[in-house]
Every structure is written in C-alpha cells, then in structure tokens.
Amino acid sequence: MATTEARIHRRWRPSRSLTLAVAIVALGLLASCGTPEVAEPTQPATTGGTPPTLLPHMTKPTLAPLLSPSTTTPPPTRSHTTGSNRSAPSEGTYAVGLTTMAFTDSTRPTAARGSNPGRETRALVTTIRYPAEGSAGAAEGKLDPARSSGPFPMVVFVHGFNTSAARYDQLLHQMAAAGYVVVAPDFPLTSSALPGPAVEADVANQPADVKFVISKLLTENDQPGEMHGLITKDKIAVVGHSDGGNTAAATAYNACCIDTRVKAAVMLAAEEKLFPDTWFQAPSPGQSTVPFLGMHSDKDEVTPYDNGKELYSGARNPKYFVTIVNGNHADPFTGGAEAPAAGRIIVGFLDGYLRSDSSVLARMKSDANQPPFKLES
C-alpha cells in the first residue's frame, strides 16, 4: 500500500534582504513514495545507554536509495542501484567498512518530540564508515579496518532537518573510500529516522552533540576495540547539509559553539539561521583560521542562495564558495547527477587542508570551475 512521506526539509526561508518586504512562505515538500526501505537495526552496539529504535526509511523519487547501518554483519545483498552495493568512485582508494555505535550524553536532556516524552539524556545513534581491507568498490559491511594504512582523518557529518544520515550514503561512502573515518549521527529531534515530528529549534543544540560525538570517537580510538588507532586526532573536519550545514558552521565559526579540534569545515546549502550573531570572530591566540568550503545551488528552493553567499562573505581566508548552476537543494549531495563531482570537490578540499596536499587542492580548484560548478575564493 502506498504511503506518503513527511516533508523532508524545513520551510523556505527568505534572505535577509527580503525579510522586511515579504512574509515567510511555507513550502511543503511532499513526495509520494513506495514501501519502506530496509529498516535501521534496532540493537546497535551501545556506549553509555540504550539507544532509541530507528524507524524504517522512506524513499523519495529525487533522492538516492538508502543504506541501513550495520552492527555485526554486512547488509543484505542488493542490486547495484541501491545502498551498500553501489560501486566506490573510481578515485576511491579503499574498501569501506560500516558499523554503528550508540552514544548517550547523560549531561544534557532531550525535549519532547510530539507525543514522545522528553528524556534526561541525549541519545545519538551513529553510523561510522572507515577505510577497510579489501578491494576498492567492494560492498560495504563489517570489514577489517585498514590499520596498516592509518591512522586517518575524521569527518563528522551532520544531516539536514527532517531527514537522516542514511540519505547521504553516497557522499559518506565517497569520503570514506578516499581515506576518512566518516561519522554520521542521527540527531534526536531532527532525524526522520526517529519517531515523532521533527523539531527545528533543536538544531541550536546540535553543535554540542557534534562535540560529544567527537569526544566519544576519540575515546574509542584510544581503547581496545574496532575503532582503536584508526583516527588522526588533530585532523578533524565537520561537513553538513542544510540545517546540518548551519550546525557544522556554528561548530567551526560561531563563538557560541566553537570546537577548536575542528580543522576544516564544509557547508552544503547552509546559512546563519538558528545561531547567535557571533560569527567569524578572530581566532584565539595559538589557533589558526579554519578553512571554509561552501557549496550552494543557485536555484535552491529551500535555503536561499543569497543566504549561503552571506555566510561565505563573513568567513576569513582561506575560504571557497562553489555555486552549483541550476541545481536544487538536495540532489547535488544525495545522489543526483552532480553528486559524484560534488563529492570529489569536497574530498579535494579535505585532502588539501587535513593532509596538506597542495596538488590535490589545486585540482579541487580546477574541478570546482567545471560545469555545473563555479568557484569563488
């Protein structure tokens, strides 16, 4: 029986230059879809508390197929057009391992989500992809980490509002195949993988979630276990899309929320909304400016393009802004035609600043000026 998917993204928001002239117009992004895809596992490996049960994900015609995290066994075999059997990009060096951990922050509460009562803690079910032994392009699963080639830089990815980490499986795989430990939490009040209506106001609490997840992964890195010794502690980046991009920006650049362990940041279709006006202050003594990469479609129907340019304009150098000509809000980052090339630009930026590879950075700049992309820096 057909089902109707809830609105994936928050309402459209006008740029600041228009806010005095027009009222905010709610744009419902409704999509009809088929039966649920494979459900998330209900018993992920737990650290610090019992995780919530993730809901089955629903497909949306314009988005990439979904991939379920795995805890102890590889995902079931599926066709090459879906999830874990998608081939790695040609530039991918590594097979990609996949695991899930659940972290609970006992120091901060979670507000109610519709009829679901609030909690005294914040639970973060987190999907982790990592470079693994085996042939590049192999199916994702519970693979042996490529320890002999490590340790590796870590990327924390922040999903958008009322969607989930699984929406971005292609991009997350691409980064991991390029030699990154990629950590993607489902946030307790904004992920569509959790029950109840999403609460956009809770985005303001997500930078603290990102900090908590970074700390938990670094602890896992230091003790015996599957993540032991995989992470280069001083090479950490944040990447986020939409409200997740706002979260990533705040974690790197807003005085409210800065985590000085973050050494590079990528904001996809992001803006300043939901955080105080304390952006891009001078770094503290001994701290370097965090390199900035923004990517935004000029036809974005959810987060106005001008808002992304405004965020970029306040950033300090080194900074880059890539316009995706005629692109929309989600497709360039969730499996659309532009997605593989967008992923290469993101990986090139990360390689340039987390691995200090100037040749890759130069290639990234060239790639970012090939249609449909236009680069400012």
pLDDT of 285: 82
Amino acid identity, residue 196?
Answer: G
Q: Residues 8, 36: contact at Cβ < 8 Å?
A: no
pLDDT, one tens digit per residue, over 241-299 is: 999 999 999 999 999 999 999 999 999 999 999 999 999 998 888 778 999 999 999 99
The parent domain of residue 118 ranges over 3-376
With a cut of 80, say whether residue 218 has pLDDT above it. yes
pLDDT, one tens digit per residue, over 321-356 is: 999 999 999 999 999 999 999 999 999 999 999 999
H or E stretch covering 156: strand 152-158
Is pLDDT larger for residue 43 or for residue 190? 190
pLDDT, one tens digit per residue, over 141-160 is: 999 999 999 999 999 999 99
Q: Residues 121, 108: contact at Cβ < 8 Å?
A: yes
With a cut of 50, say whether residue 191 has pLDDT above it. yes
pLDDT, one tens digit per residue, over 29-88 is: 333 333 333 333 333 444 444 455 555 443 332 233 333 333 332 322 222 223 333 333
pTM above 0.85, yes or no: no
210 Cβ neighbours under 8 A, 6+ residues apart: 156, 158, 185, 238, 247, 248, 251, 259
Q: What is the CATH number of the domain that holds 220?
A: 3.40.50.1820
> Comparing C-alpha atoms, which of 57, 58, 182, 168 is closest to residue 130?
182
pLDDT of 91: 62
Pairing of strands 373-376, 319-324: antiparallel
Q: Residues 160, 243: contact at Cβ < 8 Å?
A: yes
356 Cβ neighbours under 8 A, 6+ residues apart: none
Give the chain's domain count: 1
- Phi/psi at 255 (nearest 5 deg)? -60, -20
